[in-house]
Amino acid sequence: MKLAAVIYDPKVTIIWGIISDFFKQNDFELKPVFFKDYKMQVDALMAGEVDVAWNSPLAWLDTFLRSNGKSLNGSMRDTDINRSTYLIVKDEKFKTINDLKGEKIGFGAIDSPQARLIPIYNLHQNGLEYGTHYKEVRFDVGVGLNGDHIGGELESAKALLKDEVSASWMLDMNYERYTNDGTLENVRVIYKTPHFDHCIFSSRIGLDKKEFAKFNEILCKMDYENQKHKEMMDMEGLKKWVSARTSGFLQITKANEYLKFLG
């Protein structure tokens, strides 16, 4: 089986090397194929050049739409479930999301589900329309990686600290990280998006369901108590693999419909 993954960081090759070694121990040949961005990865999946792809929320949606829902859904990380993006401010005058009408709001990269697309949809849900009721200040770091990085979110937060924007969006885990290490100080959360899910495995059209089920079965056998598995899981940010669900992709679906991002 050929498995596609985007190299958002050099550690990605180590992560999938450990995973493929475990699969080999379970008599399942898994060959990682790496891509520089999610568009190339989804194109390869749709062309049948790879069997399974480790997809971002936006890449999952792209795959779902282009396959007419025929792509199979695989495992997720435990940490992909129930994520939220926070709207943070510095000035005391901003109490609610509605107070940001007419203000500059900082976002991550153009294709980031958590730091731009879902936030814009949430602004819309609260009566602030894109291109009308606020000025988007976007930080396009790692475009093509669908937010699998911290650059755009971090640069936006830095702009907030320098009073270059009135508010900034940041994934819950990144907010906790940067408040704990002192990067973010004297900021407040005034809004949290409803929960959404993050990465998930998607299959090519026509992949044998039994083969895909076996892939997921072996993957979910990985054990955080195993030191080699722990090394991989710490790098990839999980404690265990869990079964797929797609209910957490409603917001990215609605955001795409609102912005017509995927065309």
Q: What is the CA radius of gyration of the chain?
A: 19
Name the amino acid, one letter, at 124.
H
**Fold held by 85-192:** D-Maltodextrin-Binding Protein; domain 2 (3.40.190)
Show the tokens assigned to 102: 């007419």
- Give me the pLDDT at residue 263, please: 76
Cα pseudo-dihedral 252, 254, 258, 263, rounded to 10: 70
The two tokens of residue 254 are 């609605």
Domain 2-80+197-259 identical in fold to domain 85-192: yes
CA–CA dist 66, 61 (Å, integer): 8
What count of other Cβ atoms lies within 10 Å of the Cβ of residue 243? 10
- Domain residues of the chain, as ranges? 2-80+197-259, 85-192
Instruction: Write down the pLDDT at residue 150.
Output: 74
Give CA angle at 108 (64, 248), nearest 5°.
35
CATH architecture of the domain with residue range 2-80+197-259: 3-Layer(aba) Sandwich (3.40)
The 3-state secondary structure of the chain, one letter per residue: CEEEEECCCCHHHHHHHHHHHHHHHCCCCCEEEEECCHHHHHHHHHCCCCCEEEECHHHHHHHHHHCCCCCCECCEEHHHCCECEEEEECCCCCCCHHHHCCCEEEECCCCCHHHHHHHHHHHHHCCCCCCCCCEEEECCCCCCCCCCCCHHHHHHHHHHHCCCCCEEEEEHHHHHHHHHCCCCCCCEEEEECCCECCCEEEECCCCCHHHHHHHHHHHCCCCCCCHHHHHHHHHHCCCCEECCCCHHHHHHHHHHHHHCCCC
Give me the tens of pLDDT residue by residue for the chain, a chain 263 residues long.
999 999 988 899 999 999 999 999 999 999 999 999 999 999 999 999 999 999 999 999 999 999 999 999 999 999 999 999 999 999 999 999 999 999 999 999 999 999 999 999 999 999 999 999 999 999 999 888 887 677 799 999 999 999 999 999 999 999 999 999 999 999 999 999 999 999 999 999 999 999 999 999 999 999 999 999 999 999 999 999 999 999 999 999 999 999 999 97
